[in-house]
Every structure is written in structure tokens, then in C-alpha cells.
Chains A and B, each alone.
Chain A
Amino acid sequence: MQYLLNVEKLSVSFETPKGVVDAVREISFTLGKERLGIVGESGSGKSQTGRAILGLTSKNGSVSANHILFDGADLSRMTERDMRKIRGARISMIMQDPRYSLNPVMRVGEQIAEAFRVHTRASRRQAKDRTIEMLNRVKIREADKVYNLFPHEVSGGMGQRIMIAMMLIPEPDILIADEPTSALDVTVQLQILSILDDMVREQGMGLILISHDLNLVSSFCDRVLVMYGGQILESLNASDLNNAKHPYTRGLLNCLPSLERQGELAVLTRDPKWLEGGYNIP
């Protein structure tokens, strides 16, 4: 398959006072023009994978990889200067909570327009027109009014739509969505996902959806990677999730409440052998 992104043996580790913590351990995967879900518990390394691709691991962390190939270039060996041309313009990322990911003292319209102006020679006027158009596309009514609002004046759902508009305005090839709906009301989660879905389809992008929500990932993505302890335990098509073989994936599925199954929910048991490498799916 024609891939957009090819990650091989990506590792991220952090220097902490208690010693080195390996957040991501030698994971490899490819992404085409598809919707790839990465699921796992907190601390499984899914968010750090997204950040490492963009070269935005925090200062106390170190990243190593055989390669992160994107459009013929290796992102893991790129200079910061070249990396800035990739960020936003080619690969973008949406974060969990718009209350924190939007700058509280800037008008939301200016923040979106800025994302456009960084990578184009557009004038202020053009950037503003593009921003309004973009706000309309993420189904915000009265876009010219919303343009002048500050982040504390918009709701969570609208904030996340603004984030989507901001990250998609330079028309990137890949979008990483890191728990894009986890901080939102259940009622608006679906709206946000459907907007995201429309936009990804229209622009023909590759999407990496990072989530802890198995149901959401299986219904929304084409393919799913299951991460645990910094490793990919299983990679399968979303439609096959219910037939997952790995005991961890099975365990996760059994933890979900269901209308058909009655009685107590299972508790996840973990086996250290999973992380020793070469664990063969029975």
C-alpha cells in the first residue's frame, strides 16, 4: 500500500529523578490515507508516539528511531528549522481539551488565522477570509462573530471545532487527533467526530486517532493498533476488533459494559510476559 508515514523502531524515553522511563519501545507502523486508531490505557505511550512524530517531545525526553519516513524525508533526522515547515503545514495535531489548548488571551479567529499565515504569504485580509470560511466548514454559525470571541467565551464543543479549523486550515496531509473528544460532553462527542470525519474525507488526509475508547475507535477507524507498556501488542482491522486474539485486547473488551452480557464486569489482568517481546498471539 502507498503509505504517507512509515515509522520503524520508534522509542521515546524520559530522564526522571527515579531513573529512565521508557514511554515508547521500538514500535513500528505505517499509515496510509486511512483512519488509524491507537488505543491503550493511560501511560501506554500513545500520546508520546504522536508527539514524537512531530518532534515535540518535551526537553527531558529523548527520541530514537530507525526512521520516521514522511514524503521521502526522515523526520527523526530533520533539523528543527525543517521540522517547522512540516508542523502545521504537513502534519498537524489536535489535543484533548480546548480549554487548555487555546491561548486564553488571543481572539480565536486570530489564532486560526495565525496557523494559516505561518505557512503562506497571505495578507491579514486573506487570512481572515480563509478563517471565516474554515469556521463555516466546521459548522459554526455566525462565524464572523465567533472570530472575535476569546476562548473562555466559547463552549467545549465549539472550542474543539475551532481547534479542528485551526489545525486543518493549512491543509495538512496527516492529522493526529489526541483524545479529541475525551474532554467533551457525550452529546457533542459525536458531532465533533462527524465533523472530523467529513473534513478528513474531503481533504483526503491520513488520520491517527489516539484514544482510550475502544468502541469509538472501532466504529470510527479503519485499522487499530493496541498499545500497552510502550509497545504495540496487536494490529488489526477495526471490523475484526471483536475477534481480537491478544489476551490484553480481549481483556479490554471484556471490561466494557454491554447490554447483552449480564453480571459483574471482568477485571483486567496483566501478564509481564506481554512486554518481554516475541509474545506470540495464540
Chain B
Amino acid sequence: MGLKTPLGLEGMVNKSFPPPIVGQLFRLFSSLILTFIGLTAITFIIGRVMPADPVLAIVGDRASREVYDAMYLQMGLDKPLIQQYLIYISNVVQGDFGKSIMTARDVLDDLIRFFPATLELATIATLIGVFIGVPMGVGAAVYQGQWFDHLVRVIGLFGYSVPIFWLGMVALLIFYGWLDVLPGPGRIEVFYDGVVNPVTGIILIDSALQEEWEVFWNAVDHLILPSTILATFALAYIARMTRSFMLDQLNQEYVLTARVKGLKESSVIWGHAFRNVLVQLITIIGLTYASLLEGSVLTETIFSWPGIGQYITTSLFNADMNAVIGGTVVVGICFVGINILSDALYKLADPRARGD
């Protein structure tokens, strides 16, 4: 920083060319491209060497030899693996992920339909996890060993260890089957299907933009159960980590300093200790969000949620490799994107990580 260099030198450093942002962007893009190449290569090779026959999946097992061979050539399977991969990549770069065998649509169109459903569910589940889990973890650390701490630990253990499919079915049974206060599976009542134009594909945003409030609230009702179920896991994890980070910070000496100054306990906790906990939490929350964006297959299946987890799994069962690779690329982009975001937030929260 400024003090380490004499004033004259400092001016020179600041005017250096090219400006540091260029180097950072370059590093960012090269890491993005490398990740993309690695991700597609691995998925592609796994898809091709898998014993499942993609030709058979299209033509069916009663097709004649000629039809089979024609399709084999048409799909370019006679070419060497590396060439097949290069052809695939050049198509992907132009936005062509190929066709899905299962849905007979472009994979890209499918992804645009399925991904927003997962995005909506995962975002809300993460928000619930953060806004309930973090205060729970902080409270547990502050009241360590008292009843609130025990409660949080039991909830943490429960949320982490109870199988999500069981929880989902029991919740459906109680709130949909017996009490009938919440709607059943699906993103929205069939009745409202097609009322709003998909702009973002996220029903909450689309219906709010088009001021279709009935649709909006129906979608909210449908979100309550699956997002709560999905959030249980996120919440348990976030609360547990927050608790242990907070316990660690409360034993640090700067907390004693803050108390010596005569600060209120709430300022000591939220103004001092929590700002340090936040640094560590950013990574945890980012990872949780990314893993939820992958699509929770179990939750999506139980609630008939047309998300990307279900899409990839079904495609996998049908040897629909174009769809699988397409889905994997989207998940990979999410992971890398969230990593970049949490890196940036980390640097914002922790001055030691900023560097020069």
C-alpha cells in the first residue's frame, strides 16, 4: 500500500500499463476457457466410451442393418474420437448442443425450459438457508451449551441426516394429503399453465412483470414445500458452519479488545466477530448454492419439478448424450460463475485477500 513506497514511486505504479484489471480479466477468461474445455472433454469421452449405444437409442432395436449404419454415419461415429469432439465443440460454440433424442428438441431449447425451474427453487432454498441458518448458527455460538444451542444442533443433525426423499413425501402427505393447505407437485396449477409468457422462465418474475398476481401467488404456494425441503439441508449445513466459525471468532483476542472498549455485546458479536465470520461463510454459501443449482434429483422427482437435475438424470437413463453433456456444461458454468462471484465477494469482505 501507499506507505511502503516513497510518494514518487507510488505514482508510477498506479500509472502502470496495461492497468491491472486487464491482467485480471485475462486470467479470468483463460480459466473459464480451460474449465469449459476440461468439462466438455471429460463428459464427451465418458459419453462415447460408455457401453450404451447412442445409435440404438435413436433407431430402436428392431431397425434394419442399413438404417442403423446410415444413422451411425450420419452421427459421425465412424470418425476418430478427437475429431468427433472437435466437431461437437465447434457446434457448441455456435450455440448448437445438438438434438435431444428423448424430447426431439434442440438441447439448448430444453435447457432454457428446464434450468430456470431449478434456478428458482435453488435460489429460494439458499435464501431460506442463509436468512434462517446464519442467525441460528450465531445464536448457538453465543449461547453455547444452553438450550438454544442444543436445539440448533439437533436441527442441524436432523436436516443433515434425514433423507430428503422421505422428508419430501412425509411433507406432501401431511400438508397436501391430510391438511390440504398446500398444493401438490408441480410448479403451477395446470389451469394457469400458459397464462404468462415465459420471459426469464422463472415463474415468479414473469408473473410479477406481467402483473398476473393470481399466477404469482399460485407459484408461491407451489414453491413452499419443495423449497423448504431443499432448504432444510442448506440450512442445517450453514447453521452448523456458522456456529463453529462464530465459536472460533469469539475466542479471538480482538473480541476481547472490543469488550474492553465498552461495546455492547450485540455490537461485539455483529459489528466485530460476525464480520470475520462472514468472510468464511461466503465460500460455504457459494458452494451450497452451486450444489443446489446442480439440481436436486430427489426433490425434483418427488415434486414433479421440471428442473435440470431431473432432465440430466432422465437423459442419462435414455443414453441421450447430447442432453447430458448440455446439462453438464450448464451446471459447470454455474459452478465457475458462482466461484468467480464468491471470490469477488471474499475480496470485498476480507482486506487481506485483496492483494496489490
Which residues from chain A sit less than 8 Å from chain B, CB to CB? 54, 56, 84-89, 92-93, 95, 97, 100-106, 114-115, 118-119, 142, 145-146, 149-150, 152-153, 163, 166-167, 170
Give the residues in chain B near A167, CB-CB below 8 Å. Answer: 260-261
Across the two chains, which residue of chain A brings its CB closest to B354? Answer: A150
Alpha-carbon distance A167/B1, docked complex (angstroms): 26
Instruction: Closest B residue to A85 by CB, please name it.
Output: B262
Q: Tell me if A105 and B260 are in contact (CB < 8 A).
A: no
Are A56 and B259 closer than 8 Å at their CB atoms?
yes
The answer to whether residues A86 and B262 also contact, given A103-B257, A145-B2, A149-B1 and a CB cut-off of 8 A, is yes
Question: What are 19 pairs between A and B in contact, CB < 8 Å?
Answer: A56-B256, A86-B262, A87-B259, A87-B261, A92-B261, A97-B253, A101-B253, A103-B254, A103-B276, A105-B349, A105-B350, A106-B275, A114-B261, A118-B262, A142-B3, A149-B1, A150-B351, A152-B351, A153-B3
Residues of B near A85 (CB, < 8 A) are 262
Nearest 3 Cβ contacts at the A-B interface:
A88-B262, A87-B262, A100-B253
> What chain A residues lie within 8 Å of B259 (beta carbons)?
56, 87
Contacts of A150 in B (CB 8 A): 351-352
How far apart sit A118 and B260, CA to CA, in the bound complex (Å)?
A: 11
Which residue of chain A is the closest to B350 with respect to CB atoms?
A105
Contacts of B260 in A (CB 8 A): 54, 56, 87-88, 92-93, 167
- Cα distance, A115 to B261, chains bound together (Å): 5
| Known A87-B262, A105-B350, A114-B263: A153·B257 in contact at CB below 8 Å | no
Most buried by A among B256, B261, B352: B261
Residues of chain A contacted by B3 (CB below 8 angstroms): 142, 145-146, 149, 153
B264 within 8 A of A: yes
Q: Which of B330-356 contact A (CB under 8 A)?
A: 349-352
Question: In the complex, which residues of chain A have a beta carbon less than 8 angstroms from the beta carbon of B263?
Answer: 84, 88, 114, 118
The reply to whether B262 and A105 contact each other, CB–CB distance below 8 Å, is: no
Are A105 and B257 in contact, CB atoms less than 8 angstroms apart? no
For chain B, the bracket of interface size reads 20 to 34
A84 proximity list for chain B (CB < 8 A): 262-264
Q: Interface on B for A, CB 8 Å cutoff?
A: 1-3, 252-254, 256-264, 272, 275-276, 279, 349-352
The answer to whether A105 and B261 have CB atoms under 8 Å apart is no
From A153, which residue of chain B is reached at the shortest CB distance? B1
Q: Which of A100, A105, A118, A119 contacts B275 (CB 8 A)?
A: A105
Please name all residues of chain A whose beta carbon is closer than 8 Å to the beta carbon of B276 when the two chains form the complex.
103-105
Q: How far, in angstroms, from A52 to B87 measured CA to CA in the complex?
A: 74
* Distance between Cα atoms of A56 and B351 in the complex (Å): 29
Complex Cα spacing A274 to B88, Å? 85
Q: Within the complex, what minimum Cβ distance (angstroms) separates A245 from chain B? A: 36
For A119, the closest partner residue in chain B by CB is B262
- Distance to closest chain A CB from B32 (angstroms): 29
Please give 11 more A-B residue pairs, beta carbons under 8 A apart, in addition to A88-B262, A97-B253, A115-B261.
A56-B260, A84-B262, A86-B262, A88-B263, A89-B262, A100-B253, A101-B256, A103-B275, A106-B275, A142-B3, A167-B260
Minimum distance in angstroms from A83 CB to a CB of chain B? 8
Minimum distance in angstroms from A24 CB to a CB of chain B: 18
B256 touches A95 (CB 8 A): yes
In the assembled complex, the Cα of A163 lies from the Cα of B260 at a distance in Å of 12
Point out the residues of chain A lying under 8 angstroms from B272, CB to CB. Answer: 103, 106
Q: Which residues of A contact B264 (CB under 8 A)?
A: 84
Q: How far is the CB of B268 from chain A (nearest CB, A)?
A: 10
Bound CA–CA A120/B1 (angstroms): 32
**What is the CB-to-nearest-CB distance from A47 to chain B, in angstroms, rounded to a whole number?**
11
Inter-chain CA distance A153–B355, complex, in Å, is 11
CA distance A86 to B262 in the complex (A): 7
Q: How far is the CA of A118 from the CA of B266 in the complex (A)?
A: 13
Inside 8 A of B262's CB, which chain A residues have their CB? 84-89, 115, 118-119, 170
Q: How distant is the Cα of A119 from the Cα of B264 in the complex, in angstroms?
A: 11
Cβ contact within 8 Å between B350 and A100: no
Chain B residue nearest to A146 (CB atoms) is B3
Bound Cα distance A93, B258 (Å): 11
Known: A86-B262, A114-B261. Is A104-B256 also a contact (CB below 8 A)? Answer: no
Bound-state CA distance A229–B254 (Å) is 28
Bound-state Cα–Cα, A150 to B349, Å: 12
Given A105-B275, A150-B351, A152-B352, A100-B254 contact (CB < 8 Å): yes
